[in-house]
Structures are given as structure tokens and as C-alpha cells.
Amino acid sequence: MRVALRTALLVAAVVLAGLFLFPTESHAGRSCEPARPTAQQVQQGLTLAERTAQALDASGARVVLLARAGQDLGKYGLRWSHVGIAYKTDAGPWRVAHKLNQCGTAVSGLYRQGLGEFFLDDPWRYEAAWSVPTPAVQAQLSALLGVAPVDGIGRLHTPAYSLVSYAWADKYQQSNQWVIETLALAMAPSTIADRGQAQAWLRLKGYTPTTLKLGPLTRLGGRMSKANVAFDDHPNDKRLSDRIETVTADSVFAWLQRSGLGAAPVTLGL
């Protein structure tokens, strides 16, 4: 028992030291506020990662769409804030390909991280959710994940970032939007050459974005105080009627099940 306890404490100390030496510089729509994780936060994040990996292994899936609750979006009726493409590597561990906003700026990048890193990003709740795509979708995504980023997952990436980017425009691109556009590319690689064509495929398959009710004062405050929030890509008629249509993790899960491209989401929490 004492040996196990010492080992656990050593692992936590190593992880904490790594976080201090190599701070996380990118977040899904959050500013980089200097905050050291507590030992409890590290333990919870790693425990969630371990249990998620065990559950994913038991599912038999090779690729899933994996979400976390990084922010409290309850006032918008949303449960999950961020989704990525999780895949089983040939070496064994699960990895997550996802898009992250760089420290609250208007720029983003693509990353491949382990489950531990994915769940150590200061979540609002220590919960995970995932949808298992059909075998055909998993096979197509696996093929895309296996090639060089510029030709694979990075092919439709737009660095210009807005947390509330319009679902049917290509001026900006937020994290969840990149996921479904990349899924579209994976499913029709020979016919999709740009984001507009990916969005046309998503419309054809019945994807429906989430409509957020955001009044003018909220929009003005967000635009003036946050570099990663912009509304100028939304059509005037929708923006002026306070209808902001954007891609959310919740809408992605609903669409996967509705379209038959994936199973109902499975949730796991501590």
C-alpha cells in the first residue's frame, strides 16, 4: 500500500513539474490565465483519462468523437464545450486530434494529444462523452488521420478563429466546426476540395447547427473584450435578429445519431 501511494505521489509530482516547465499554451476558446493545477485536479484529470481509455478499449472502436466539458454552457442548454477525434494508435494508447485556440487570440492550431493532456485542460466538470461512428466512418477517418497533416487533418484547417463562427461560412473556424468538416472530407475525399464543399456535404447529410440567442449587448461585449469572438461572418438578417448559428459538441452528437453516422453518445464522469 505504501509503495503504491509513493508511486502515485511521484507520478503526480512528475506531471505537475511537466505542466510548470511546459505550460499549456492553447485552449478551446479560453484565455491563458496563469493558474497552477492542484494535485487534486491532476489526479482527477488523469483518473478520467484512464477510465475513458478503458471504456474506449472495451467498446472495440478504433475512432470516436470525444467531448469534454471545459466550460459551463448550461445557460445555453449545452452540456459539452469541445469535441475532438480520438483514435487508437498502433502502439496502444489513445490520442486526440483536435483544434485549439491559442490563448484567447484570434488564431488556432491543430494538435495531437494524449487523453491525459485532453482532460487536464482545467475542465468545468470531470466528465467525458463520446459517439462511436459506424465502421465505415471509422475506416475513413483512420485513413485521413494516418497521412501527413497538410494532406490529412490539416487540409481544411483555417487558423482564423472565432468561438462563435458561423456554421456555413469559411472566414473563421472554431474547434467543433473543424471536426465535422474534417469528417466530411474523410467521407468524400475525392469530391471535397475546400470548406464550402465540406459544408455542402454536411447540409446534404442533415447537419443542423445550434442557434444561440445572443442580443446586441452580449455580441458587442464579446467582440470588444475577446479577440477570439467575432460575428461579422454571420448573415445580417440572422445576426440582427439575435440568431447566432454555430457548431456545438451537443449538435454534433445529435447529428451523428440522427444521420446514422454514429451511435448515441456515451457519458462517463467521476
**Above 50 in pLDDT, residue 15?**
no
First to last CA, the chain: 23
pLDDT in tens, 130-140: 999 999 999 99
pLDDT in tens, 65-107: 999 999 899 999 999 999 999 999 999 999 999 999 988 789 9
pLDDT band of 64, cuts 50, 70, 90 = very high
- What's the confidence (pLDDT) of residue 24? 37
Q: In the chain, helix, strand, coil percent, each to 5?
A: 40, 20, 40
The DSSP element (H or E) to which 252 belongs, if any, is helix 249-259
Q: Quick check: 45 and 12 in contact, CB under 8 A?
A: no
Q: What is the DSSP string of 107-129?
A: BEEEEEEEHHHHH-S--SEEEEE
- What's the confidence (pLDDT) of residue 4? 39
- What's the confidence (pLDDT) of residue 218? 61
SS (H, E, C) 205-226: CCCCCEEEECCHHHHHHHHHHC
- What's the confidence (pLDDT) of residue 104? 79
pLDDT band of 30, cuts 50, 70, 90 = very low
Mean local confidence (pLDDT), 35-51: 89
Give the span between the Cα atoms of 225 and 76, in whole angstroms: 20
As a whole number, the mean pLDDT across the chain is: 86
**Above 80 in pLDDT, residue 254?**
yes
Comparing CA positions, the residue from 156, 166, 167, 243 lying closest to residue 207 is: 167
- What's the confidence (pLDDT) of residue 11? 39
Give the span between the Cα atoms of 115 and 120, in whole angstroms: 9
Comparing CA positions, the residue from 143, 138, 140, 144 lying closest to residue 157 is: 144
- What's the confidence (pLDDT) of residue 19? 31
**And the C-alpha cell for 205?**
447529410
**Above 80 in pLDDT, residue 28?**
no
Mean local confidence (pLDDT), 263-269: 97
pLDDT in tens, 16-26: 333 322 233 44
Mean local confidence (pLDDT), 159-184: 97
The DSSP element (H or E) to which 57 belongs, if any, is helix 39-59
